[in-house]
Structure 1
Amino acid sequence: MTTKKCMLVVSVVLLYSCQASQKADIDYNTSVSAPFYTSNSPQVLFDEAHFNLHTTQGTFKPFVTLITHDGCKVTPNLAPFTADLLDQYSLLIIANAKGGLHDDKAADAFTDKECKSVSDWVKKGGALLLITDHHPFGMAAQKLAAAFGVQMGGGTVNDSANFDKTQLWKDQLEFTKTNKLLAAHPINKGLNRVVTFTGQSLKGDSLAKPILRLGSTATEARPDSIWEADGLTYTRFADPVSVVGWSQALSIDYGAGRVVMLGEAACLSAQVDEKGEKFGMNVPGNDNRQFILNIIHWLTNKAK
């Protein structure tokens, strides 16, 4: 997610006012000339029950229409996760869940029971795409990520070398064949350049395989303390720490199922801000659109 113009202000309230100015790029063409799924369409459950920032009719509408044009059938979710609910679907997508609407955004978005339901379902053959982001979204999803052995950095990653040089800010990261941060993974087949737009880091256990590696010059500023004053909630970030060896996207073969986790959400969207600046798969020169399709194909065990 890109919130560059607001990251210098520690007020969470002001940060979210910037996010509110971002909207889906409704002019972006999401048509697919040769849909991957022509029969047996994946039944996709898209979560909207956990104060999610990104929804099917909101900022992730281009993502939803893209995978729909590719042959997926997407259903919004408005209920807690249970075994009976999940068993009706082959793929669960969660994008930027929160613990609440106000000061509790960074609280656990999912109950212990929900985390167990999801992990048990994946182990039996389900597929999970867990999309997270910079603070507070990593902290809100940490419990569910931990069920799959993944730790979330929870802050904001910058890279002084591997960032989009057309941008002023160093949190818009480039993952390319040239810089070797686009890992050798089936999801990256045919891709040359994936760009992310301000996110956190991820670290998996021995089961996890990197998709987007963080380089030797990548650092992360993580929340140090959170407090309230004058009706506002403030977050202080500690000095940046190295996140070499961490990732911004990774995959896990978990039992009979599969998981992909991302530490940045806007890279899978097509958005535009109040000044008309685009960010996501609608930015010319990146392969984010095919990256999305490859993720879905791999998760449904149909990667070419």
Structure 2
Amino acid sequence: MSQQVVDTTLVPIIVDPYYKIQKGPTIYIDEIHNNFHTKEGRFKPFSTLLERDGYKVYSLENYDLLKTKDVLVISNAIHSNNIRNWEQPIHDAFSSEDIQILKKWVEAGGRLLIIADHMPFSGATNTLANAFGFDFCDGFAQLSKPEGESDLFSEENNRLLVSKITDGTYGKSIKSVTTFMGSSFQIPEKAIGILKFKKGDECLQPEIAWQFDENTPSKDLEDSYQGAILDFGKGKLAVFGEAAQFTAQTITNENGTFHVGFNSETAPNNVDFIRNLMRWLSTK
């Protein structure tokens, strides 16, 4: 049995913050939808990193707090029926009213980061994603790679596409990003892909999360993505299919204790990638 624990010890000190401390844009982290990741919980390293970059970071418990040009991060929302019940059917985490509010807010200038991990989170978030033209495979995205290697999206392996998030426009130039077993999605025509799967990568779709056998349905992920951005109306949208890359955790099992997230030695560029992405989201 693996034990997963948030790791707040290896959040880097930022010597060149983009904004003076507490003077940057406002970022809210959603806590309305039974979120697996919250500001003071599994996303504490993420919120601390952003605060060290000068952002003002708060939990969101009411849509009325949102102003145009604020950034809202929704990570791993889930319906109450699927809390500790990661088995089909996966219910929508967002009501039609939720979706209408969020879509209108982004159209008016809001900045939204949607993160939906492997099943059940990708399924729970798909109706919201559909409203912006994205479509999740509710499963586990698996890269075609040697066993034991990290899920590496790099320019070298043609899975990291050059974009304004990676080319130095909004910070450091990024040549690779590491993720940790997430989900996949297809993107609308006007979106800009960032993390792209290749032919031979696959989405495994079990009836119960983490339970796989030779009969588990799978889908080839050619032309699917794990990260993309989109200008939407007057606002901006970023969609990602893996949450651990944005935070820091330790996992302990029979083989020892391992860093999983931007604290991992396999993910040396993730912090700079996060900083670039959030700067793009929060600026004009």
TM-score in same-fold range (> 0.5): yes
2:261 paired with 1:280: yes
2:60 paired with 1:77: yes
Which amino acid in 2 is paired with 1:301? Answer: T
- Indicate the residue corresponding to 1:299 in structure 2: 281
Per-residue deviation at 1:217? 2.1
- Indicate the residue corresponding to 2:170 in structure 1: none
- Indicate the residue corresponding to 1:94 in structure 2: 74
Q: How does 1:216-227 map to 2 (within 5 A)?
A: 216-223=199-206, 225=207
Which amino acid in 2 is paired with 1:277? Answer: F
CA RMSD of aligned residues (A): 2.3
Which amino acid in 2 is paired with 1:65? Answer: T
Say if 2:70 and 2:282, in contact at 8 Å, map to a contact too.
yes
Q: How does 1:127-146 map to 2 (within 5 A)?
A: 127-146=111-130
2:157 paired with 1:179: yes
Q: TM-score, normalised by structure 1?
A: 0.82
Say if 2:68 and 2:110, in contact at 8 Å, map to a contact too.
no
Describe the superposition over 1:126-152 as per-residue Cα deviations: whole angstroms up to 9, x where unpaired: 100111110000011011101100000
Say if 1:151 and 1:203, in contact at 8 Å, map to a contact too.
yes
Describe the superposition over 1:128-177 as per-residue Cα deviations: whole angstroms up to 9, x where unpaired: 0111110000011011101100000111111223xxx5xx346x421112
Describe the superposition over 1:166-215 as per-residue Cα deviations: whole angstroms up to 9, x where unpaired: xx346x42111211211111111211221110011111111211110111
Which amino acid in 1 is paired with 2:98? Answer: E
Which amino acid in 2 is paired with 1:134? Answer: H
Describe the superposition over 1:24-43 as per-residue Cα deviations: whole angstroms up to 9, x where unpaired: 21210331101102385111
CA distance, structure 1, for counterparts of residue 266 and residue 216 of structure 2: 34
Equivalent residue in structure 2 for 1:125, among 99, 109, 114: 109
2:244 paired with 1:262: no
Work out the percentage of aligned pairs sharing the same amino acid: 31
Which amino acid in 1 is paired with 2:35? Answer: N
CA distance, structure 1, for counterparts of residue 123 and residue 42 of structure 2: 21
Per-residue deviation at 1:121? 0.5
CA distance, structure 2, for counterparts of residue 263 and residue 280 of structure 1: 14
Q: TM-score, normalised by structure 2?
A: 0.87
Instruction: Please say which of residues 280-289 and 68-77 is displaced more in the overlay.
Output: 280-289
Alignment coverage as a number of residue pairs = 269
- For structure 1, list consecutive stretches of 5 or more residues without a partner in the other structure: 1-16, 228-232
CA distance, structure 1, for counterparts of residue 259 and residue 7 of structure 2: 8
CA distance, structure 1, for counterparts of residue 120 and residue 163 of structure 2: 29
- Indicate the residue corresponding to 2:131 in structure 1: 147
Q: How does 1:33-112 map to 2 (within 5 A)?
A: 33-38=15-20, 40-79=23-62, 81=63, 84-87=64-67, 90-100=70-80, 101-103=83-85, 106-112=90-96
Describe the superposition over 1:244-302 as per-residue Cα deviations: whole angstroms up to 9, x where unpaired: 00001011110111111111111111110123200111112431111111110111126
